[in-house]
Structure 1
Amino acid sequence: MRLLEALKAPDAPAVLRAMEHWTCRLVRRSIWVLRRARRGLHEIVLIERLGLHTALPQYSFALYQPDLSALLRRVIGRVLQRMPEEVPPPGTLTMLGRLFALAGGRRVWSGHLAPP
């Protein structure tokens, strides 16, 4: 992770920038290993915030989105708090549930969704 942070620094050495592809590939493979050990979420969040999407083990739409998850959790909580007095339009709860599932990422990672 320190290599990725150094790679995104504005004053990154040219040698490190030349190895960006291999560094991202190495990180991507290590996250696959961490994923099997039920870890790696912190690394994925850091990579997305740095903007190094080629280091992700999957395309970002298929990964867990913690910021979106927290936002949806708050929205769903507000809708449920108002439920007895105010009934939401038909399909609202279904839509929020599907968005929440999408923010949770794919349960099974597959190689065909991995970046090249």
Structure 2
Amino acid sequence: MFSTICSCQLLDTSRYEVKVEFSPQWNDFFKKDLVWRGADGASSIDLEDGHVLWLFSDSFICRDSTGSRRRSTLIRNSIAIQNGDDLHDASLKYYWSKLKNKPQAFLKEQDIIGYGQDMG
């Protein structure tokens, strides 16, 4: 028998204002790789040595170099390591697992919550 503990907290959204602005620089930075084609969520952790760890949720991994999402496999998560702070000079290397030459999630845990949260 399995037990589950759930909790929630109601949030008064009228007390907060969220503004979103498109950034061509960040958009171009993440689109440099023709195989990693995007994700629906991202968190970052400053590793304080000139590197940043990026944690992505559901990610599109293209099966060829066309850069097409239509030809992509959707995996549960992926990560990247950013080297440098200046987006014009910084590099970004993406990582995910493979099984039988097919893209798989980098992190195997099924119920990962809170990528990038500082617990200390």
TM range (shorter): under 0.3
**Normalization by structure 1: what TM-score?**
0.22
Query: Hey, which of these two has a bigger chunk of helix by percent?
Result: 1
**Normalization by structure 2: what TM-score?**
0.21
Structure (1 or 2) with the larger CA radius of gyration? 1
User: Which is bigger in relative contact order (C-alpha 8 A, separation at least 6)?
Assistant: 1
Query: Hey, which of these two has a bigger chunk of strand by percent?
Result: 2
